[in-house]
Amino acid sequence: MNLLEIKDLKVDYTTKSGVSGETKLVHAINGVNLEVKKGEILAIAGESGCGKSTLAKSIMRLVDIKGGEIDYRGDNISNLRSLKDIRHFYQKVQMIFQNPYSSLNPKMKIGAILKEPLIINKKLSSKEMNKIIEEKIGQVGLDKSVLDKYPHEFSGGQRQRIAIARSLILEPELIIADEPVSALDVSIQAQIINLLKDLKKNLDLTFVFISHDLSVIKYISDRVAIMYLGEIVEIGQTSEIFSSPKHPYTQALLSSVPQIGTDENKSAISLAGELPSPENLPPGCKFHTRCSHAVDVCKTTSPQEHEFTPSHKCKCFLYLNENSMI
Ligand code: SF4
């Protein structure tokens, strides 16, 4: 069953150039189609600037959508306008941010931070709220003594546990985790990743897990979508993507992941040039400016999706059949 369906999503936003002050239009999401199945961890991977975080914000209704639709449990949530409807949606879908330092109000004690969503969304007695708060803080591996302290009294890993507890307080079905471990020390990352895995299993949660770290993605996710300049260029089961990557961009990303504990000595495929600016998208296949396989048609025409298995798909002219233009 699909919890979330994203159909031909497009998001633009404007930005000001630092030097000239000129306003520029950024094409952040350019026709994303994606389904999130109940109970899975779907990872979104790609370089910084590929549109991963904008996609997360689109799902959370934190940015305006230019085109397309987002359905949650079959209901179009792209047009939610009233505070009441948006609050109702946030009871089911929550977000964990990259930086636990900035996502917790430094002037509030942890108990008050966790109580706030319950006061806004539920009609519960103080005793009932305290029971839920103590249960959630326990589920993230912390003692209830933390409730009387301020965020600055905790380490980065402990703060991220508190942020996770806050995301659980309304008992959501879906959590959007945007680079949830990238601001943490490497030694703490594994603890938080294992906590998210345990929570998914024990609380029957679904995750959209956004990361640039393919080692983390390989460990935690059930499926992976690879994003490039606001498009999904390849999607598949995690095992399919890591054992048989098809898109030249996916192949280049994976070739740079260290192969710990194997004798494999894959040489990294270097990507030519920088990620093009989303203000000036290349025509045709958006990867053609950096692809060593690119031919003329790639420069003018966008490739359609090719299906390798029902779950493994990729957009690249290399895999078109005998009618291929390559
Ligand atoms: Fe490379 Fe062409 Fe495939 Fe794009 S469509 S990834 S440019 S071969």
Number of domains composing the chain: 1
Atom in ligand 1 nearest the alpha carbon of residue 295: 2
d(CA 297, CA 313): 20
Q: State percent of the chain over pLDDT 70.
A: 94
Averaged pLDDT of the chain: 91
Please identify which residue in the block is written with the tokens 């306008």. Answer: 81
Is residue 141 a part of any domain in this protein? yes
Q: Is the CB of 293 under 6 A from ligand 1?
A: yes
Q: Shortest CA distance to 111 belongs to which of 168, 142, 150?
A: 150
Is residue 324 a part of any domain in this protein? no
| Two tokens, residue 303 | 């490739």
Q: Is the CB of 281 under 6 A from ligand 1?
A: no
What is the per-residue pLDDT across 94-141, written as a single tens digit (0 to 9) for each? Answer: 999 988 778 889 999 999 999 999 999 998 999 999 999 999 999 999
Residue span of the structural domain in which 112 resides: 2-260+267-319
Is residue 326 a part of any domain in this protein? no
The pLDDT assigned to 325 comes to: 47
Query: Lowest mean pLDDT: which of 72-81, 178-187, 222-231, 271-280?
Result: 271-280
Is residue 325 a part of any domain in this protein? no
Q: Is the CB of 317 under 6 A from ligand 1?
A: yes
What is the per-residue pLDDT across 271-293, written as a single tens digit (0 to 9) for each? Answer: 777 788 888 899 999 999 999 99
d(CA 38, CA 3): 5
Burial label, 58 (beta-carbon count in 10 A; 0-12, 13-18, 19+):
buried
CA angle 24, 25, 31 (to 5 degrees): 160
The pLDDT assigned to 258 comes to: 67
The pLDDT assigned to 272 comes to: 73
Average pLDDT over residues 30-37: 96
pTM: 0.92
Is residue 145 a part of any domain in this protein? yes
What is the per-residue pLDDT across 165-181, written as a single tens digit (0 to 9) for each? Answer: 999 999 999 999 999 99
Alpha helices in the chain (DSSP H): 52-59, 83-92, 110-121, 126-139, 156-168, 186-203, 214-220, 238-243, 248-255
| Two tokens, residue 20 | 């000239």
The pLDDT assigned to 271 comes to: 77
d(CA 287, CA 279): 15
Please identify which residue in the block is written with the tokens 């990620």. Answer: 275
Q: Is the CB of 294 under 6 A from ligand 1?
A: yes
Q: What is the band of 262 on the pLDDT scale with cuts at 50, 70, 90? A: low
Using most ligand atoms within 8 A of CB, pick from 290, 293, 305 the residue to mutate for ligand 1. 293
Centroid of ligand 1 to alpha carbon of 15 (angstroms): 29
For ligand 1, atom 5: residue with the closest CA: 316
Centroid of ligand 1 to alpha carbon of 292 (angstroms): 8
Is residue 163 a part of any domain in this protein? yes
Average pLDDT over residues 159-170: 96
Report the CATH number at residue 276.
Answer: 3.40.50.300
Strand-pairing partners, residue 27, are: 12
Q: What is the band of 322 on the pLDDT scale with cuts at 50, 70, 90? A: very low
